Amino acid sequence: MSESKASVIWQENKAFMGVSPSGHNVQIDADKEKGSSPMELILLGLGGCASYDVVEILQKSRQAVTDVRCELTAQRAETVPAVYTDIHMHFIVTGQDVKEKQVEKAIQLSAEKYCSASRMLVAGGVNITHDFEVVAG
């Protein structure tokens, strides 16, 4: 098991500075004035994790990918804690002669095997769905 250490430092009001284990700063603000809210960062983390997997898998399968975009739509519970209940991930994959079967397989492998954020959220009861489109370019 590996260990990661991060810190979150209160700045003012509902604003904090997060310092990642790799030493990068992230502005966090529950009021969303000076940075993303903590829940927004969770959503972005999921999108980043899955997108990385999809790009990596498609490149390894020799797909000529030039762009990958993941658009996330999320629903939150109306009561506290207002957790994400449903997240839909729509991937837009651009490239030359990119095969839909390869994209579908990459997304499935990410969701079921590689994306730590996805696996953690699903284990916590979040319903995550996916779809995609392939764009020539």
**Do 59 and 103 share a domain, yes or no?**
yes
Whole-number average pLDDT of the chain: 97
**Do 73 and 95 share a domain, yes or no?**
yes
**Do 30 and 46 share a domain, yes or no?**
no
Q: Are strands 84-96 and 127-136 parallel, antiparallel or unpaired?
A: parallel
CB neighbour list of residue 10: distance below 8 Å, 6 or more residues apart: 16
**Per-residue pLDDT, 128:** 98
**Do 14 and 43 share a domain, yes or no?**
no
Count of CB atoms situated within 10 Å of the CB of 65? 21
How far apart (Å, rounded) are the C-alpha atoms in residues 81 and 76? 9
120 membership: H or E segment, kind and range: helix 116-123
**Do 69 and 91 share a domain, yes or no?**
yes
Domain interval for residue 4: 1-36
**Do 82 and 26 share a domain, yes or no?**
no
Residues 43 and 84 sit within 8 Å (Cβ to Cβ): yes
**Do 8 and 42 share a domain, yes or no?**
no
**Do 20 and 56 share a domain, yes or no?**
no
In the numeric block, the tokens 């993303």 are attached to 36
What confidence tens digit (pLDDT) does each residue in 66-125 have? 999 999 999 999 999 999 999 999 999 999 999 999 999 999 999 999 999 999 999 999
pLDDT band at 137 (very low <50, low <70, confident <90, very high): confident
**Per-residue pLDDT, 121:** 98
What confidence tens digit (pLDDT) does each residue in 41-65 have? 999 999 999 999 999 999 999 999 9
Residues 110 and 50 sit within 8 Å (Cβ to Cβ): yes
**Do 129 and 80 share a domain, yes or no?**
yes
Please state, for a pLDDT cut of 90, what percent of the chain lies above it.
Answer: 99
